[in-house]
Amino acid sequence: MKLHLTTTAALCALAASTPAFAAPGDPVKLSDSVTIDPIVEGRLRYENVDTPSLDADALTMRLRAGFELKHASGLSVLAEAEGSLALIDDYNAFPFTIANSQRRPGFAVVGDPMTVELNRLQLQYKGKAGTLTAGRQRINLDDQRWVGAVGWRQNEQTFDAVRAEAKLGPVSIDATYANSQRTIWGIEAGPRRAFDGDFGFLGAGARVGPAQVKAFAYLLDYDAAEQVGTLAAPNADTQTYGARATAAFKLSKTASLALAASYARQFDWQDNPADYGADYVAGEAALAVGPVTLTGGYEKLGSDNGRAVQSPMATLHKFNGWADLFLTTPAAGLEDFYAGAAMKFPKFKALPGLNAAVTWHRFESDAGSLHYGEEWDASLGFKLGRANLLAKFADYNAANLGADTRKLWLQVEFAY
């Protein structure tokens, strides 16, 4: 794997010398009824990509700054700007055709373009009856399989939306209307900077015995202008209905079991020219014994009539391997069989918060009996002063989809 060794050494040295950043502080009191909470976050990351045909080296720095002003009545205003700078730019920031200097097709893709933008600007009221949020906001729903902020990338995905959350007796209600999806691609991405339309995210949940159960509906109706080659995912206008259940069981003083299961069915909708109905199925079990957690799971994004389940608003890096080969579901669908182990090291005082994890994936098609490939993912994280450090590695071995891909990340992150 080709690697800028001097860059890696410099980043490790920076991590080792990172000062003790201030811990997230309490809001500052401006009066008896008004407080202000500053927002300062930073993340420096090196990413290396190695494929048979293209490589990439990216060293990027992301900064966020803003504030949240709160009144004792429950009313608050939050404003936050975000900017990313490329210190090493041997990478292709845009995996789509665009006349921009950050599109460098001679390198592999790293989805962290340089950009400066208004990330969030929201007005919120939080009371006993519920919470109402209006404006540009971060939205993470459930496990982020359908709607998420794509927090792994340097430029966050946010939404121009109105969101209402309430609890009616034992039932929790969460309803959002959004008219703009502010993508990770930033201000220089042309029409992909944001996708406009009418988007509804609806959920209702309650506790049923030991399980937390939720029914949901996601209705995506992109504007007609967005349908002409600008959207990354095919059959973008979709309606998805389903349910999700989670439960946790204490087995002993040192052991516990967590279960999660989801089912959904996705159909074409509005201007979608396709005619299909495909199933989504997911199940996961995690057994924790002391500092060790063993996880096994299965996820299917089904295919019907040549179309597969898509989730273009999800935090996709969380799913189907960190090498990101399946950001768009193949037309034949996807089955992901995975197993992993994670361990914490609380007695290792020299590196507080030290943790390690490894996961194996096997990828198959839903239709056509294709073996796409296999992937190993591994991570190591710890704290140094007030900074969080992370190393991650992904190794995808291709069979009938894509090419062998290896990715390495070294990251330092702080927040105030």
pLDDT tens, residue by residue, 13-71:
433 333 333 345 678 999 999 999 999 999 999 999 999 999 999 999 999 999 999 99
- Asked if 384 and 355 count as a contact pair (C-beta separation under 8 A), the reply is no
Q: Tell me what pLDDT residue 236 has.
A: 87
Radius of gyration of the chain (CA): 22
- Mean pLDDT, the chain, integer: 92
* Alpha helix (H) residue ranges in 190-301: none
Q: How confident is the model at residue 264 (pLDDT cuts 50, 70, 90)?
A: very high
Asked whether the CA dihedral 102, 107, 112, 114 is positive or negative, the reply is negative
**What pLDDT, in 10s, does the model give residues 352-405?**
999 999 999 999 999 999 999 999 999 999 999 889 999 999 999 999 999 999
What is the reported pLDDT for 113?
Answer: 98
| pLDDT value of position 139 | 98
* Per-residue model confidence (pLDDT) at position 74: 97
Predicted confidence (pLDDT) at residue 109 exceeds the cutoff of 50: yes
Percent of the chain surpassing pLDDT 70: 91
Looking at residue 25, what is its pLDDT? 63
Of 77, 60, 38, 317, the residue nearest 186 (C-alpha): 60
Query: With the C-alpha atoms ordered 215, 332, 322, 337, is the resulting torsion angle positive or negative?
Result: positive
pLDDT tens-digit map of 298-342: 999 999 999 999 999 999 999 999 999 999 999 999 999 999 999
9 pLDDT more than 80:
no
Tokens for 261?
């299961």
Element spanning 208, H or E: strand 194-208
**What are the E-state strand segments in 305-354?**
307-308, 334-344
Q: Is 12 in a helix, a strand, or coil?
A: helix
Kindly indicate the confidence band of residue 12, based on its pLDDT and cuts at 50, 70 and 90. very low
| Res. 231 pLDDT band, cuts 50 70 90 | low
pTM comes to 0.91
**What gap in Å lies between CA 77 and CA 127, rounded to an integer?**
15
Enumerate long-range contacts of 135-143, CB under 8 Å, 24 or more apart: 135/160, 135/161, 136/160, 136/161, 136/182, 137/161, 137/163, 139/163, 139/176, 139/178, 139/201, 140/315, 141/174, 141/201, 141/203, 141/216, 142/203, 142/214, 142/216, 142/244, 143/244, 143/260, 143/262, 143/318
Instruction: Give CA–CA dist 150/315, Å, rounded.
Output: 4
Helix, coil or strand: residue 110? coil
- The per-residue pLDDT for range 179-189, each reduced to its tens digit, is 999 999 999 99
Q: In which band, very low, low, confident or very high, does the pLDDT at 291 lie, cut at 50, 70 and 90? A: very high
Most confident of 191-195, 271-275, 281-285: 281-285
Domain ranges across the chain: 119-415
Q: How far apart are the first and last CA of the chain?
A: 36
Confidence (pLDDT) at 225: 60
Whether the pLDDT of residue 207 is over 80: the answer is: yes
Q: Which CATH class is domain 119-415?
A: mainly beta
Give me the pLDDT at residue 273, please.
Answer: 87
CA 152 to chain centre: 6
> Residue 36 pairs with which residues in a beta bridge?
28, 69
Give dist(CA 149, CA 155) in Å, integer.
9
Residue 5 confidence (pLDDT) above 90: no
CA–CA dist 250, 259 (Å, integer): 12
pLDDT of residue 261: 98
* The pair of three-digit structure tokens given for residue 106, joined into one six-digit string: 């001679």
Whole-number pLDDT of residue 349: 85
Residue 7 scores a pLDDT above 50: no
pLDDT at position 230 is 52
Residue pair 43/62 in contact (Cβ under 8 Å)? The answer is yes
Beta bridge mates, 249:
257
CA atoms in the 13 A half-sphere facing the CB of 25: 15
pLDDT of residue 1: 47
For residue 65, the cross-strand partners are 40, 81
Neighbours of 12 (CB within 10 A): 15
Residues 134, 140: Cα–Cα separation, whole Å:
15
Give the Cβ contact number of residue 119 at 10 Å: 23
88 strand-pairing partners: 59
Give the bridge partners for 414, in sequence order. 42
Do residues 261 and 355 touch, judged by C-beta distance below 8 A?
A: no
The answer to whether 332 touches 370, Cβ cutoff 8 Å, is: yes
Rounded CA separation 24/41 (Å): 10
Question: Quick one: which of 346, 337, 275 has its CA closest to 304?
Answer: 275
d(CA 224, CA 339): 41
